[in-house]
Amino acid sequence: MKRGVDFIAQNHSCRMSVDGCAVAFDLGSNTLRAVVLECGSGEFIHSFEKIVSTADGLAKSGRISDAAVDRIVNAVKEAVGSFDMQDCTMDAVTTEAFRRALNAQEALSRIEKESGISFRVIDGESEAGYTLLAVRERLKRLGVEAENIVLVDIGGGSTELVVAQGEGFVARSFSLGIVTLAQSGDSIEDIHAKLEIESREIAAFFESVKPDAMDDTLFVATAGTPTTIAALRLGMDYYSYDARRVNGTTLTPRELEECYERLRLMEQAQRERAVGVGRGDLIAAGILIFLKLFEIVCAREALVIDDGLREGVALSLCRRGTTTL
**Binning pLDDT at 50, 70 and 90, where does residue 7 land?**
very low
Burial of 192 (0-12, 13-18, 19+ CB in 10 A): middle
pLDDT at residue 325 tops 60: no
- The span from the CA of 257 to the CA of 280, in Å, is 15
Residue-level pLDDT at 118: 95
Helix (H, G, I), strand (E, B) or coil at 51: strand
What is the CA angle 56-282-75, rounded to 5? 50
**Binning pLDDT at 50, 70 and 90, where does residue 8 land?**
very low
Question: Closest by alpha carbon to 312, among 111, 149, 122?
Answer: 122
Relative to beta strand 120-121, strand 88-94 is: parallel
Segment 32-46 mean pLDDT: 90
Residue-level pLDDT at 4: 52
Helix (H, G, I), strand (E, B) or coil at 237: coil
Question: Closest by alpha carbon to 95, among 49, 139, 128?
Answer: 128
- Dihedral angle sign, alpha carbons of residues 257, 262, 268, 270: negative
**Binning pLDDT at 50, 70 and 90, where does residue 14 land?**
very low
Taking only the tens place, the pLDDT of each residue in 269-314 is 888 888 888 788 888 889 999 999 999 998 899 999 999 999 999 9
What is the chain's mean pLDDT, rounded?
85
pLDDT at residue 85 tops 80: no
Helix (H, G, I), strand (E, B) or coil at 68: helix
User: Could you tell me the pTM of the whole model?
Assistant: 0.82
Question: Closest by alpha carbon to 223, among 272, 314, 285?
Answer: 285
All structural domains of the chain: 2-124+310-320 (3.30.420.40), 142-308 (3.30.420.150)
